[in-house]
């Protein structure tokens, strides 16, 4: 068994690990050293900043490709995992005050959930009088499982970036869903705690077939859905959805409405997509919220994303920029019109 309080574990998309290492070194210096634990998990082994400081950098978008953070407290070979009461002792030794409840989150480097380890931790903590849930608590116990190592981590929820195991948010695939893209907007709203004022007016650029429009309507927005393509037939009977079958540029030339929120999930180059968002600014109220996905790809996706952010920053205060679980090779950027 290895016990340590120095390592910081971070989860990433499988093809974004090197981007994260570059971001971390640019932000905290070349002495920072990382090692890859698994396809979507890395460990900072030297030069790690305080995890609260690292979380702020991620939350503000200075580091964009980290999805989840935890402070490593122990690691074991799979056949050397201690019994439940010892696991509980390791966890409770790291919590400032004996808690009445903790969140325990387990995940693996494959398709499994690591459920057996969840039950081990729940058993040990329960015997010490600690109730266990899977989310929604101030402190999160993380347990990551591979065929070579079991890692145990602990972090405050406010510094974890996501309240899902390893940042892997799971959303139900309900029949009423219009498209997979809905997951991206749902995750952004939940992860960043976005406040969509009930009864507001929303603009959905590149709306077809209407997935983001449907999510906006769930948050009581009246939506102008702009796209030459059609919307899903299930949306057409909603009188608070206004489908404008044209391009964004043509819409802006004729529009007289002022919007509380604008969203953009169009498939285009990062800079071009950001420029479309600048065109939207005269049509937004002060303080309006903006949500845009900057598509990845190319030989240098980090620099491309930064160019898109630089364009957006000309007219928006950038609140968040992060590669979320449902983004794949994209970034979700949250801005606000000053």
Residue that finishes a domain, picked among 143, 167, 191: 167
pLDDT confidence of residue 228: 97
| Chain segment 22-41, per-residue pLDDT in tens | 999 999 999 999 999 999 99
Q: What are phi and psi of 254, to 5 degrees?
A: -115, -15
**Is 174 within a domain?**
no
| Chain segment 129-141, per-residue pLDDT in tens | 999 999 999 999 9
Burial of 184 (0-12, 13-18, 19+ CB in 10 A): buried
Are 97 and 122 found together in one domain?
yes
Are 288 and 151 found together in one domain?
no
CATH number at residue 269: 3.40.50.150
Are 276 and 200 found together in one domain?
yes
Are 13 and 137 found together in one domain?
yes
What whole-number distance in Å separates Cα of residue 154 and Cα of residue 165? 12
pLDDT confidence of residue 175: 67
pLDDT greater at residue 4 or residue 186: 186
Residue that finishes a domain, picked among 167, 195, 211: 167
Q: What are phi and psi of 66, to 5 degrees?
A: -90, 135
What whole-number distance in Å separates Cα of residue 205 and Cα of residue 129? 51
Average pLDDT on 89-100 reads 92
Q: pTM to 2 decimals?
A: 0.93
Are 104 and 199 found together in one domain?
no
Average pLDDT on 326-331 reads 90
Are 310 and 233 found together in one domain?
yes
Q: Look at residue 202 and give its three-state secondary structure.
A: strand
Q: Which residues are catalytic?
A: 295
Domain count, the chain: 2
**Is 137 within a domain?**
yes
What whole-number distance in Å separates Cα of residue 44 and Cα of residue 25? 11
| Chain segment 106-152, per-residue pLDDT in tens | 999 877 788 999 999 999 999 999 999 999 999 999 999 999 999 99
The percentage of the chain sitting over the pLDDT mark of 70, rounded to a whole number, equals 96
Are 272 and 316 found together in one domain?
yes
Q: Is the peptide bond before 209 cis (omega within 30 degrees of 0)?
A: yes
What whole-number distance in Å separates Cα of residue 214 and Cα of residue 276? 22
Contacts of 50 (CB under 8 A, 6+ apart): none
What whole-number distance in Å separates Cα of residue 302 and Cα of residue 284? 29
Are 133 and 198 found together in one domain?
no
CATH number at residue 83: 3.30.2130.30
**Is 173 within a domain?**
no
Are 10 and 145 found together in one domain?
yes
Are 145 and 15 found together in one domain?
yes
Range of the domain at 19: 2-167
**Is 233 within a domain?**
yes
Are 6 and 78 found together in one domain?
yes
Q: Do the strands 139-145 and 101-108 form a parallel or antiparallel pair, or are they unpaired?
A: parallel
């Amino acid at each position: 068994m290895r016990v340590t309080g120095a390592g910081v574990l971070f989860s990433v998309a499988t093809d974004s690990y090197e981007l994260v290492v570059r971001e971390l070194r640019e932000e905290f210096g070349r002495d920072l050293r990382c090692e890859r634990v698994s396809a979507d998990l890395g460990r900072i082994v030297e030069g790690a900043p305080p995890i609260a400081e690292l979380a702020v950098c991620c939350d503000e978008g200075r580091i964009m490709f980290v999805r989840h953070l935890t402070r490593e407290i122990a690691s074991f070979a799979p056949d050397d995992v201690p019994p439940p009461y010892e696991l509980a002792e390791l966890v409770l030794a790291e919590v400032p005050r004996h808690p009445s409840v903790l969140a325990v989150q387990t995940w693996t480097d494959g398709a499994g959930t690591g459920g057996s380890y969840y039950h081990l931790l729940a058993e040990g903590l329960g015997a010490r009088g600690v109730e266990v849930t899977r989310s929604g608590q101030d402190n999160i116990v993380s347990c990551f499982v591979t065929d070579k190592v079991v890692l145990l981590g602990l972090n405050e929820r406010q510094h974890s970036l996501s309240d899902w195991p390893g940042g892997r948010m799971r959303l139900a695939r309900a029949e009423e869903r219009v498209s997979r893209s809905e997951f991206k907007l749902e995750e952004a709203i939940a992860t960043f705690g976005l406040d969509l004022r009930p009864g507001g007016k929303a603009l959905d650029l590149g709306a077809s077939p209407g997935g983001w429009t449907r999510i906006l309507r769930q948050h009581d927005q009246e939506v102008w859905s702009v796209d030459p393509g059609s919307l899903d037939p299930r949306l057409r009977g909603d009188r608070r959805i206004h489908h404008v079958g044209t391009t964004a540029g043509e819409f802006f030339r004729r529009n007289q409405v002022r919007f509380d929120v604008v969203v953009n999930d169009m498939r285009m180059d990062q800079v071009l997509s950001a420029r479309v968002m600048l065109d939207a600014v005269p049509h937004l109220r002060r303080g309006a919220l903006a949500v845009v996905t900057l598509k990845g790809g190319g030989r240098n996706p980090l620099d491309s994303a930064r160019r898109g952010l630089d364009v957006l920053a000309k007219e928006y205060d950038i609140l968040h920029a992060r590669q979320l679980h449902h983004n794949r090779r994209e970034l979700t950027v949250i801005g606000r019109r000053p």
